[in-house]
Amino acid sequence: MEAGQRSLPGAALAGALALAAALAACGPRADDLPLQVEGGVPVGAVLSLTSNANAYGQDQQIGLELAQAWHQKRRKADSPGAPELSLRLEDGGGDEATATQAFNLLIDAGVVALVGPTLSQQAFAADPIAQRRGVPVVAPSNTATNIPQIGGFISRVSAPSTEIAPLSIAKALELNPSIRRAAVFYAQDDAYSTSESAIFQKALADKGLKPVTVQRTQLNDQDFQNQITGALRQTPDLIVISAQAVDGGNLIRQLRELGYKGSIVVGNGMNTPNIYPICQAYCDGILIAQAYSPELDTPMNREFVALYKLAKGGAIPPQLTAQAFSAYQVVAEALQRLNKRQPLSQFSLADARKALMAELLSGRYDTPLGEIAFSPDGEVVQQRFHVAQVQMKPGSLNGRFALLP
Amino acid sequence: MRDLSLLVQMGFGALLALSVYLPLRCGQLSLATPGFYAIGGYVAALLSTRWPALSGGGASYPLTSLALELLLAALVAGAVALVLGRPVLQLRGIYLAIATIALVEILRVLNLNMAWSGGAVGIFGIPQPFDGPAGYALATGVLLALTCWLCSRLEAMRLGRAMSAIREDELAARCMGIPTADVKLIAFVLSAVIAALTGVLAAHFLNTWNARQGSFDASITTLAFVVFGGSRIWLGPVLGGLVITALPELLRPVGDLRLILFGLVILVGPILFPQGVITPEGLARIRAAVRRA
């Protein structure tokens, strides 16, 4: 009697799970229903608004908000027949499980396309789900290699590190041709930093500069004295860092405090004004390759910069914001073109997703990043990249990414 | 279709909670669960991506290969636990906790630095044995039901009673002739096997596996499942795992406040229920009430 009672909850649990699974298997499939266009075509976004990746998520959130406002305005002014978009933003946290869950949630809610997730590591987990269910994904910030290769429904507007990272090395050598001894630092427990560092090291080797030392750090490290003294013993005149904003900022500060005077090149993880308060005056002079230039002189970018300045009290937009804006713009314009060809309300949800993906890849887009297009497998094709040098205002926590010619 | 994948993750939470619960059942605070979870995940990820013979010719990954992975992961984790268990379980209380944290950290650093584990990027493109979350829900449900059945049987079995005796007083238990070292080792190995089996399913479910899956943070999360749900009876960790995994997702409608609310629940739970939400006494009271009604 006693044992029988005890195992009852277990049986109930198993029963409930089996029932849920059975219900799920035979329920109606949202994919076959017509696309819901009442109140705007549903588009989803998954950004890291919490966890320690939120420094990036916040930049991106502003980009999406500006893009929404901009699209609304333009729709009213130029093309009243264009479809309205209704954006649903979900927090993707900083881990795989949360991003996966957010993707599932939005796909089940019937979104026609997804923007996100913030981190490449999350993309490897969440993108295959969208791919299996046939939902177009436009990644605004994944720079690791092999992301668009996850499948035909995955694309990105963020140029991969393989294209961008070597530029800053070349620029550093151009500014100071006497550089002979390069040291490399990277956060070894971070997917982005590890893969970008490999690209940096290859770029150095291509220039005939074999790193004199490679130092590994951890994302949560605060104190880098061991690695720094180890590196400075080799008297480097160029230090190349792949780390995220917080740990990288601290690393630069400590490098300068311990007396390093040479050039510093950093990767995309520190490509946000959020580093200024961390390394403060010591940020001055570091080199970062950019996929976006606020000084790009096109009508689209001028409009974007003006919108950003209005929203943020005169600040200059960072790359992540521009890329998120572009991702939304790509989805909106592709939907608009598709709608012109065949009204969206005539599509079933599954067909709309498929048609949108084809439309998305075939178009050209005049974005704040400049004119972009996609290769057939979803990789961004971007014309221009830039290298910026951080210039801090003396005695303040403010600075800017000054583009180098 | 909605939220089935959440159900899968809740199942993983409950399984990991049971893996922490088993050593606790004989009074051993082991935080090694994420380490064995990571071992299981790597076994699955490596076998399914590096061994073409396993993936068969079809579109989806064959279930027999999944079964082989489960078997191998259980064997590997069980063997590691068996070898490490003897010396590690000589330690008690907080020292055992520290040693198991060290084990998790060593595994993490190894996985970060070994070439075969893909470093921080890890292994991606893990093939899928099921078409959608429904298959995973079923597999997780079956594994969870089996584990629950085992745990409920333990209450009536000699082994389970020996475990309880060790938890109450290890010295007294030994005086009564219970081979305490062996019993503790069995609990540790069972715990490792459950975590590794969960890891195999999780690796396929997540599509990707990396060193972050088995970290110190994960140790704390799995411990929170047990602290919240209660460690006196197996239903407690199951409830803790299910609820604490689901809560951040179920709270999504409240927007930015969700993690604050989640933190509050974790805080308030142990204050209101210091023994955990589910205790044998509480269950007995519910049973009595049901009988009266």
pLDDT band at B268 (very low <50, low <70, confident <90, very high): very high
For residue A10, list chain B residues with Cβ-Cβ distance below 8 A.
Answer: 145, 148-149, 152
User: Which overall architecture, per CATH, does domain A32-159+297-374 show?
Assistant: 3-Layer(aba) Sandwich (3.40)
For residue A20, list chain B residues with Cβ-Cβ distance below 8 A.
Answer: 4, 7, 137
Pairwise CA distance, residues B96 & A194, whole Å: 33
B1: which 2 tokens? 């279709």
Q: Give me the mean pLDDT over the B52-80 stretch.
A: 91
- A24 and B133 within 8 Å at the Cβ level: the answer is yes
Q: What is the pLDDT of residues B178-204, one digit of tens each?
A: 999 999 999 999 999 999 999 999 999
Q: What is the pLDDT of residue A42?
A: 95
- B249 and A101 within 8 Å at the Cβ level: the answer is yes
For residue A125, list chain B residues with Cβ-Cβ distance below 8 A.
Answer: 206-208
Give residue limits of the domains in chain B: 4-213
Q: Which residues contact B136 (CB under 8 A, 6 or more apart)?
A: B5, B8, B130, B201, B204, B205
Pairwise CA distance, residues B28 & B70, whole Å: 26
Q: Which of A31, A135, A189, A219 to mutate to test the interface with B (most CBs of B within 10 A)?
A: A189
Q: Under the phi-then-psi rule, with left for phi > 0, alpha for psi from -120 to 50, and beta for the rest, what region is A185? A: beta
CA B156 to chain centre: 22
Of B2, B138, B142, the CB nearest to A108: B2
Q: Check CB contact of A77 with chain B, cutoff 8 Å.
A: no
Axis-axis angle for helices A319-341, A349-362 (nearest 10): 120
Asked whether the predicted pLDDT for residue B274 surpasses 70, the reply is yes
- A124 and B155 within 8 Å at the Cβ level: the answer is no
Q: What is the 3-state secondary structure (H, E, C) of A327-348?
A: HHHHHHHHHHHHHHHCCHHHCE
Q: Check CB contact of A128 with chain B, cutoff 8 Å.
A: yes
Computed over every residue of chain A, the mean pLDDT equals 90
Q: What is the pLDDT of residue A29?
A: 56
DSSP A312: T
Q: What is the pLDDT of residue A272?
A: 86
Pairwise CA distance, residues A17 & A25, whole Å: 12
Scan residues 126-145 of B and list those with Cβ closer than 8 Å to A: 128, 132-135, 137-138, 140-142, 144-145
Q: What is the pLDDT of residue A79?
A: 74
- B120 and A150 within 8 Å at the Cβ level: the answer is no
Q: What is the pLDDT of residues A340-397, one digit of tens each?
A: 999 998 999 999 999 999 999 999 999 999 999 999 999 999 988 999 999 998 888 8
Q: What is the pLDDT of residue A102?
A: 95
DSSP B253: G
Pairwise CA distance, residues B76 & A383, whole Å: 51
Q: Which residues contact B209 (CB under 8 A, 6 or more apart)?
A: B41, B42, B44, B45, B122, B123, B126, B203
Distance from CA of B262 to the nearest CA of A (A): 13
Q: What is the pLDDT of residue A4?
A: 41
Q: What angle do CA A328, A314, A382 make, to 5 degrees?
A: 35
Distance from CA of A75 to the nearest CA of B (A): 28
- B252 and A91 within 8 Å at the Cβ level: the answer is yes
Termini Cα distance of chain A: 83
Q: Check CB contact of B112 with chain A, cutoff 8 Å.
A: yes
Distance from CA of B26 to the nearest CA of A (A): 19
Pairwise CA distance, residues B13 & B36, whole Å: 14
Give residue limits of the domains in chain A: 32-159+297-374, 162-290+386-404
Q: What is the pLDDT of residue A17?
A: 55
Q: What is the pLDDT of residue A78?
A: 80
Q: What is the pLDDT of residue A190?
A: 86
CATH number of the A162-290+386-404 domain: 3.40.50.2300
- A13 and B153 within 8 Å at the Cβ level: the answer is no
How many interface pairs between A and B have CB atoms less than 8 angstroms apart? 130
- B258 and A24 within 8 Å at the Cβ level: the answer is no
A112: which 2 tokens? 């026609």
User: So what's the ipTM on this one?
Assistant: 0.90
Whose structure tokens read 């059945």? Answer: B149
**Residues of chain A above pLDDT 70, percent:** 92
Q: Check CB contact of A234 with chain B, cutoff 8 Å.
A: no
Q: Please determine whether the domains at A32-159+297-374 and A162-290+386-404 fall in the same fold group of CATH.
A: yes
Backbone angles phi, psi at B278, to 5 degrees: -110, 120
**Residues of chain B above pLDDT 90, percent:** 85
Spatial strand order in the sheet of A182-187: A213-217, A182-187, A238-242, A263-266, A287-290, A386-392, A399-404
Q: What is the pLDDT of residue B55?
A: 81
- A189 and B132 within 8 Å at the Cβ level: the answer is no
Residues lower than pLDDT 50 in chain A = 1-7, 23-28
Q: Give me the mean pLDDT over the B113-134 stretch.
A: 89
Q: Check CB contact of A124 with chain B, cutoff 8 Å.
A: yes
Tell whether omega for the bond before A277 is within 30 degrees of 0, i.e. cis: no
A394: which 2 tokens? 């003396």
Q: What angle do CA A122, A124, A125 make, to 5 degrees?
A: 65
Distance from CA of B244 to the nearest CA of A (A): 13
Scan residues 59-78 of B and list those with Cβ closer than 8 Å to A: none
Asked whether the predicted pLDDT for residue B120 surpasses 90, the reply is no
Pairwise CA distance, residues A110 & B163, whole Å: 50
Q: What is the pLDDT of residue A6?
A: 45
Scan residues 235-264 of B and list those with Cβ closer than 8 Å to A: 235, 238, 248-249, 252, 256, 258-259
Q: For residue B111, what is the nearest residue in chain A, using CA coordinates?
A: A189
Computed over every residue of chain B, the mean pLDDT equals 93
| Identity at B249, one-letter amino acid code | E
Q: Give me the mean pLDDT over the B11-17 stretch.
A: 97
User: Which whole-number Å values give the CA distances from A115 to A137, A292, B198, B252, in the listed order?
Assistant: 6, 18, 30, 18
* Cβ–Cβ < 8 Å for B31, B219: yes
Q: What is the pLDDT of residue A33?
A: 76
Q: Which residues contact A15 (CB under 8 A, 6 or more apart)?
A: none
DSSP B214: S
